[in-house]
Chain A
Amino acid sequence: MKRLILIALALFLAKSPASASVDWESKGMQIAGEIIANPAGFFYDFQQDLEATTPLPPGKRFGFQMGLFPTLIPVTYTNFSGKYRLHGEGRIAPGVPQLDLVGGYWDMLAAKMATRDSETIDSAKFGGYYLGAIMSTSVSPRVRTFWGYKRSKLGAKLKFKPGEEPELLGATVSSFDTGFKDDFFIAGIETPRSVGKLWSIQLNYGLKTQTFSSKVSWYGKYFELGLNIYPEGVLVVHPVWNFHLNF
């Protein structure tokens, strides 16, 4: 039945009479222009993919996370994130929320390789970190809401060798040295999908830059699947795959 429904929807979309067509070349130029206009914003969206901003499961004291896709593969962000529970829900007094510290670091492997091996790139350094705290509270046996703060920082430097500068959209790009830093407000809700599997949706909002995103995640014991949406980003939808362990 599900397959039938999907086929019907696909036919509806494909056969409807709107005479629309896609100019992929023009779209590619637009995307390239947006990346050049704000490279830090483009790379920061990938940082958000690896940031562990959901609370630890009840009963767990600490956890580790590594972003696999699209962070480690294909954009070569070697990364590591950690969570530590400062206070379990209701431990000090009934109703006092759980409080977790979260943080992580990443470094772009491709930038290091390019610096060493490339004939056109003189130097490249891409990296970043984040630190924050997540407060979570159960509002029913099946629902937890969480609130948090994080500080995120990213640095992106790239310099081409003299005479090897590329041309993009008619402009010669010799180097860029840019960064991103902001304090974020986080609000989300978590609910079970099945036994041992959770589903969450959260908002991340940057107070200074007005950068915002929505993260929809499904996670179990080892892996997290997500669909991160950056409505104002260059690549609006990021499918996400992360590995995590909680103890």
Chain B
Amino acid sequence: MKKIFLSALIAAGLAGRLCAASAEDSRIFTPFFDMTLSEAAFLPSEGNIFSGGNMNTQVGLLAKATRKDHLFGLYNFNYSGQGFTPQDSKQFTDRSMSHGFNIEYRRVLTDRIRIRPGLSLNREYRRTGANEVWKNGLYNMNSFGGQLAADYTFNEEKNGYVTVQYLFRNVKFPNYTDLLREFQNAGNTAETSGGLQDQAMGQISLRPSWNRFFAGLTYTVQNYKNQRVVANTGVYGDDKQRDSDTALDFGFHHSLWIFELSPMVSYTMHSSNQNFMLYKFLGDTSPQFGEKYYDFKELALSVPLDLNITGKWAVGGALGLQRRAYDKRSARDTDNNFTSAKQVNTMTTLTASIRKRINEVAMVRLFGSFIVADSNNKFEKYLPYNYTGKSFGIAYQLSY
């Protein structure tokens, strides 16, 4: 579920990048290049030092066939390495790598309205700390789909526009299998547990932007093709799993004197009809039932601030906060028993950094972060919920 939601966000992000690229009036072809790279060392309060990084490369070409007809192709390579992650998401050592291909046709209808139909193909590889071959990742994912977006410009002077977009994806997990079901049906050689994560995803969004302020309302639905909802008897019923997310976000990027501020806040409501059975050990005959186990509300806040002390150098800081409160999921004690309190996870990050602009298209940043992860869930055999950590690293960005 989280992986798909992430993909949806990536898709939405890509759409934003696609929208941002614009043609130079005098050229038929305009290239687009954006590369960001960061590498950091991580010191968790429990466990040993490790390193990890993120890399994102976008290369594209905008072709202006006529004054009103444009075609934009984009390849996106993304790598997400080891690192501290919010609770209930993934292990520190999990990594992912994806290749995305997008092509978008842009048609200018009037001076104020433009439509953008497009196609998207994405292949994502995942690997764990076991370092399995990329192609063998249990959660490897292929997706294919399309989009239809419309932009309405209401204020040219302040770059004010509204984008309405619908996108859909057919998502497949070719390697995914339910290991528990395979174990329980060891005598059955036929493939019975594949395709459980396969799904159709749809997303509709409304995004206004004006004078470097932006906001968004996004609704995402994931309809699972094979995964069914588990009942309180521990048996899968007839209903198929269906998840949805409603997300609101707001932010801006403005400078005042030497201060450069780009805060962003988002609020997500996740809903799923899936339940959960808690087996404390293999063969547990009295498992505990968790109804609507995956529903939550999540608030994410990010406040980066840079102080431009010279034309090239800036010192900065950032505060990040992510708080997830589950609607019905109970927290667990250290012995893996449900408690009476609903689970709440919080992750706070404080970052200090130095940024140097190399020229108008490139910059480098040295950063150090302090992180506190806190939860009332005390069962941490498989995923860490309560820890502190430090990280320090370097980041580059080159964008044209």
Contact = CB atoms under 8 A, between A and B. Distances in A.
Interface of A: 1-2, 5-6, 8-9, 12-13, 16-23, 26-27, 30, 37, 137, 139-140, 142-143, 145, 147, 187-189, 191-193, 199, 201, 203, 205, 210, 212, 214, 216, 227, 229, 231-232, 236-237
A148 B48 CA distance: 39
Given A145-B31, A212-B79, A237-B39, A203 B55 contact: yes
Contacts of B390: 13, 16, 18, 20
Given A9-B368, A139-B31, A216-B37, A189 B55 contact: no
A22 B95 contact: no
Contacts of A187: 33, 57, 59
Residue among B37, B371, B388 with max Cβ neighbours from chain A (10 Å): B37
A205 B134 CA distance: 13
Given A201-B35, A203-B77, A210 B97 contact: yes
A18 B52 CA distance: 19
Contact of B55 (A21, A22, A145, A231): A231
A145 B368 CA distance: 31
Contacts of B371: 18
Interface string B62-85: 000000000000000101010000
A6 B366 CA distance: 9
Contacts of B33: 139, 145, 187, 189
Contact of B313 (A2, A227, A237): A2
B366 A9 contact: yes
B284 to A, nearest CB: 34
Nearest to A190: B398
Nearest to B49: A22
B359 interface: yes
Nearest to A205: B77
Contact of A189 (B81, B360, B398): B398
Contacts of A227: 394
A20 B387 CA distance: 10
Interface string B383-400: 000001110101010101
Interface in B344-359: 352-354, 358-359
Interface string B362-378: 10001010110000000
B79 A231 contact: yes
Contacts of B37: 201, 214, 216, 229
Contacts of B79: 212, 231
Given A13-B390, A16-B390, A229 B368 contact: no
Given A9-B353, A18-B389, A199-B358, 4 more contacts: A16-B390, A142-B359, A210-B125, A232-B95
A23 B359 contact: no
Given A22-B49, A27-B49, A212-B79, A229 B39 contact: yes
B309 interface: yes
Contacts of B43: 18, 20-22
13 contacts: A8-B352, A9-B368, A17-B370, A18-B44, A22-B43, A140-B400, A145-B33, A191-B359, A199-B362, A210-B135, A212-B77, A212-B97, A229-B53
A213 to B, nearest CB: 9
A72 to B, nearest CB: 24
A148 to B, nearest CB: 12
Interface in B109-126: 125
Contact of B44 (A20, A191, A201): A20
A89 B361 CA distance: 22
Contact of A22 (B48, B362, B398): B48
A23 B46 CA distance: 11
Contacts of B389: 18, 20
A201 B396 contact: yes
B125 A13 contact: no
Contacts of A5: 313, 315, 354
A27 B51 CA distance: 11
A236 B53 CA distance: 9
The 7 closest A-B pairs by CB, nearest first: A20-B43, A18-B388, A16-B370, A13-B368, A210-B134, A18-B390, A22-B49
Contact of A216 (B49, B97, B370, B396): B396
B211 interface: no
B45 interface: yes
A187 B31 CA distance: 12
A243 to B, nearest CB: 23
Given A20-B45, A20-B389, A203 B368 contact: no
A6 B43 CA distance: 20
Nearest to B390: A18
Contacts of B394: 227
Contacts of A192: 359
A19 B372 CA distance: 12
Contacts of B315: 5, 8
Nearest to A213: B55
A30 to B, nearest CB: 8
B40 to A, nearest CB: 10
A212 B95 CA distance: 13
Nearest to A25: B48
Nearest to A95: B29
B359 A193 contact: yes
B370 A189 contact: no
Interface in B20-54: 30-31, 33, 35, 37, 39, 43-45, 48-49, 51-53
